[in-house]
Structure 1
């Protein structure tokens, strides 16, 4: 059973650390894969709508998570509904692979493309090599992460992030606790300046 008090306690202990990536490093070894002689081909998929930080909030937090995962030795893939050439170049320079939505009709890109229409808009997710973890965000993309896991990538783990500043507000909203029962790990991220 999910106990908010337990996560508040974890939050105090790891307030400025990315709990999920710390756990991943523990599971797969610390240091870089090359220095440890480990399998360096573990992949993480982060569900987001953009690579840039123009919207702030979730986009900035997911960008930080992506960069920290890359620094921890993972191959990192980030979904985007659309991306400019500058976004693509910036992600490439940082070693991040963007997974752009496939445009199949005249509808405006929206988050339903991740939650409901992911088989059509993101048809190649199964081709991501050695995909181990899907990261969503409570409340915006955690449902999409669970849906993709259950429908298409059952061998993955689902992690959900939550903004440090919004925890007390979001954790008590109706439905969030039920959604979190399908998540392997919940971690909290203290936003920093955009990277």
Structure 2
């Protein structure tokens, strides 16, 4: 029953967003923090969802990868403006299995797979020509053959400890439900808008 199961409720809301949100309904703001607690946020795409958590993929040498290596906590924010809804997720972060990462990487388009090899994500780029040259080098390296997953590219799962559902209300009297995981059970309470 979706009433007491935040993952099931999220699936319903995501399905509604896939119909009602014009662009990237799986886009999510990902907030991480470095070892000193300095936060950073960026948009990523949700690429997996299960009872275990919310999955996204990236270069592990990127800023977010480096931050997650020293501080494995994150927050997600899904905002579906057209539906006047948002969902906030907070939790610990764990790496997905190699099998999961390999399967997802293989599902990506060839150009995206080649780009994962060419881009040193988040590192300083002297000019665009450098990236384009690296991409041509990667294309030559792999030719028409398989493009395997780079060793520095994988996925992360945000294991939710808190999930908040927010719906717009008249006169700014929004509806907020906060689910919190205690051991293996979820509890829910309403929050003031």
TM-score (norm 1): 0.24
User: Larger C-alpha radius of gyration, 1 or 2?
Assistant: 2
Q: Which has the higher strand share?
A: 2
Q: Taking structure 2 as the reference length, what is the TM-score of the superposition?
A: 0.24
